């Protein structure tokens, strides 16, 4: 590996995870709780323990592996690996360095094992993108200052502490030109079951080389803590044996035509939106209302649909919605929202999707990225702030055109797609379908309609809520950012962001009136 190798540290873990897994299994069939020390008391206990561990694993009874959790510190790992592997499922928790607030250093990126001209071209391209990031930050600063003065006319954006906002907002948007190879560091916590799954699918798309490195070190660290816990892990499934690989070879190995046709077909469905409502439950509002009545034990003659929907979604009547702590999953009334469903087709940038996917309860079917790549078709998202500056826009477009040409040259040199696509920018378009229930979309829209949310994911959320208005108006009238919900529920202060207040009285606006640049 040319760049610094991924660093993996196990910083917190359950004690005796193997014994604990068997103890939890035995407790299901015992008249009293079985403790970890009970299954390791003597040789007879250990023989029984190992037999049970083998039996329940082979039978697929794996919830016992979920009780033990492992917290890792990961360093020198790529954004591409995090997006494609670590955050592609719901069963994890991460706290990760933000490119919105932390300036990216020039040497903070993954360089795969390349040689000769390919290595030189890769490093030259990566270095050029880092320089483009710095230059674009400077080009965007005047537009940020101008917008900031509109929001806060009494503040001088060139003076402390406001100058920091200009710097951060400029680099937040400039990061769109950074490669997805850029490094991140994070805390990453998973259960023992998820760790088993990581190991089994470490060779899967999109970053099998990096996945093997990182997952191997995770397993090694847990094995040092408790060798028995990892001894029954199944060998990693070869990439060639995965259904994704077989289909990818069938359709994409010899031609880019399927990818090109797919992109055109998908974009036509969007009708110029970044997110398009493609499916929903046609009786969603009626089912929601009936679910509320079922929770409360009230007949329809005593509670109309309008009243039922208002009781669960109006923060003036359901004040749980105005709290900072999301309590919906633990509220009998709020759980009625589980029965309304929506599906959206979406096209957003890699960097926006890296935030979107953190909403783990609105899952998406994200792509094999190489199946969307067309060498002569630069495919990227342009942030609204870039469009505010002609100089920035021209530089941005030129950077993208040059980058796609360089990635194509790498592939012509025989570089595997996996390695060449590390140079794709944060701006690269990600197309996928995303589905979820109202309860979890409600939480997501509340957080992402806030003006402090990243502009692209904010705009996407606005589009989604406006489309929900057309099919479920009694629901949509109650959708909005935290300040709106808190104002209706009389929770003060209306804005919970403190000194991060956006400068706009958003709670007085309708969703269709929302506008922002920064």
**Mean pLDDT per 10-residue segment, the chain (518 residues):** 91 98 97 98 98 97 98 98 99 96 92 97 98 98 96 94 95 98 98 99 98 99 98 96 96 88 98 98 99 99 99 98 95 99 99 97 98 97 97 99 99 98 99 99 98 98 99 99 97 95 97 97
pLDDT of residue 502: 96
pLDDT of residue 107: 86
Domain boundary among 244, 270, 290: 244
- Distance (Å, whole) CA 410 – CA 416: 8
- Distance (Å, whole) CA 304 – CA 258: 51
Residues 34 and 88 in one domain: yes
Strands 275-280 and 341-349: antiparallel
Residues 189 and 301 in one domain: no
| Residue 215 domain-assigned (yes or no) | yes
Specify the DSSP class assigned to residue 158.
T
Residues 218 and 317 in one domain: no
Domain count, the chain: 2
pLDDT of residue 424: 99
| Residue 390 domain-assigned (yes or no) | no
| Residue 507 domain-assigned (yes or no) | no
Residues 82 and 207 in one domain: yes
For the sheet containing 93-96, what is the strand order? 7-13, 69-78, 183-191, 93-96
**CATH number, position 61:** 3.30.1360.170
Range of 295's domain?
Answer: 282-336
pLDDT of residue 1: 64
| Residue 311 domain-assigned (yes or no) | yes
Residues 238 and 311 in one domain: no
| Residue 134 domain-assigned (yes or no) | no
Burial (0-12, 13-18, 19+ Cβ within 10 Å), 200: middle
Residues 197 and 68 in one domain: yes
Residues 85 and 208 in one domain: yes
Strands 183-191 and 275-280: unpaired
| Residue 378 domain-assigned (yes or no) | no
- Distance (Å, whole) CA 456 – CA 176: 11
CA atoms within 13 A on the CB side of 363: 5
| Residue 320 domain-assigned (yes or no) | yes
Residues 222 and 289 in one domain: no
Radius of gyration over every alpha carbon of the chain, rounded to an integer in angstroms: 25
Domain boundary among 291, 318, 336: 336
E strands, 379-457, are: 429-437
Residues 73 and 196 in one domain: yes
- Distance (Å, whole) CA 133 – CA 135: 6
- The answer to whether residues 462 and 511 touch, using CB atoms and an 8 Å cutoff, is yes
H helices, E strands: number in the chain? 20, 8
Q: b/e per residue, 325-340, with b = 16+ CB within 10 A? A: ebebeebebbbbbbbb
- Distance (Å, whole) CA 73 – CA 11: 7
Residues 194 and 76 in one domain: yes
Residues 188 and 330 in one domain: no
- The answer to whether residues 361 and 342 touch, using CB atoms and an 8 Å cutoff, is no
- Distance (Å, whole) CA 4 – CA 108: 9
Specify the DSSP class assigned to residue 73.
E
| Residue 391 domain-assigned (yes or no) | no
Residues 26 and 84 in one domain: yes
This prediction has a pTM of 0.97
């Amino acid at each position: 590996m040319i760049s610094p190798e991924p660093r993996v540290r196990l910083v917190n873990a359950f004690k005796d995870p193997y014994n604990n897994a068997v103890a939890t299994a035995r407790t299901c069939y015992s008249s009293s709780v079985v403790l970890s020390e009970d299954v390791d008391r003597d040789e007879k206990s250990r023989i029984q323990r190992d037999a049970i561990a083998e039996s329940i694993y082979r039978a697929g009874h794996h919830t016992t592996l979920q009780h033990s959790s492992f917290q890792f510190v990961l360093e020198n790992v790529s954004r591409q690996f995090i997006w494609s592997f670590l955050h592609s499922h719901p069963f994890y928790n991460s706290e990760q360095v933000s490119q919105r607030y932390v300036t990216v250093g020039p040497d903070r990126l993954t360089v795969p094992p390349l040689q000769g001209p390919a290595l030189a071209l890769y490093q030259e391209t990566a270095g050029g993108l880092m320089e483009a990031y710095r230059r674009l930050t400077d080009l965007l600063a005047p537009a940020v200052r101008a917008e900031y003065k509109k929001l806060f006319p009494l503040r001088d954006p060139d003076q402390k502490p406001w100058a920091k906002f200009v710097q951060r907002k400029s680099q937040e948007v400039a990061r769109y030109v950074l490669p997805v190879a850029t490094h991140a560091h994070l805390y990453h916590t998973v259960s023992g079951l998820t760790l088993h799954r990581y190991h089994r699918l470490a060779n899967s798309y999109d970053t099998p080389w990096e996945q093997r490195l990182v997952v191997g070190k995770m397993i090694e660290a847990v094995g040092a803590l408790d060798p028995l816990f990892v001894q029954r892990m199944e060998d990693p499934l070869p990439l060639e044996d995965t259904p994704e690989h077989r289909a990818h070879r069938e359709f994409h190995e010899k031609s880019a035509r399927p990818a090109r046709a797919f992109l055109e077909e998908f974009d036509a469905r969007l009708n110029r939106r970044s997110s398009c409502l493609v499916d929903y439950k046609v009786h969603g509002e009626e089912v929601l209302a009936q679910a509320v009545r079922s929770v409360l034990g009230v007949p329809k003659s005593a509670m109309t649909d309008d009243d039922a929907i208002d009781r669960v979604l109006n923060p003036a009547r359901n004040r749980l919605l105005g709290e900072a702590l999301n309590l919906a999953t633990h509220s009998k009334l709020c759980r009625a929202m589980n029965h309304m469903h929506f599906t959206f087709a979406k096209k957003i940038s890699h960097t926006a999707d890296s935030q979107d996917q953190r909403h783990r309860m609105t899952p998406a079917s994200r792509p094999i990225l190489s199946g969307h790549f067309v060498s002569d078709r630069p495919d990227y998202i342009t942030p609204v702030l870039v469009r505010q500056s002609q100089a920035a826009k021209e530089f941005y477009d030129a950077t993208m055109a040059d980058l796609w040409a360089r990635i194509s040259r790498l592939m012509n040199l025989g570089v595997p797609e996996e390695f060449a696509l590390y140079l794709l920018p944060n701006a690269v378009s990600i197309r996928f379908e995303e589905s979820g229930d109202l309860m979890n979309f409600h939480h997501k829209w509340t957080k992402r309609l806030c003006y402090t949310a990243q502009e692209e994911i904010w705009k996407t959320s606005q589009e989604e809520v406006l489309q929900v208005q057309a099919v479920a108006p009694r629901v949509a009238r109650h959708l909005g950012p935290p300040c709106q919900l808190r104002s209706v529920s009389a929770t003060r202060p209306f804005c919970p962001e403190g000194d991060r207040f956006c400068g706009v009285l958003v709670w007085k606006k309708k969703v269709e009136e929302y506008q922002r640049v920064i």
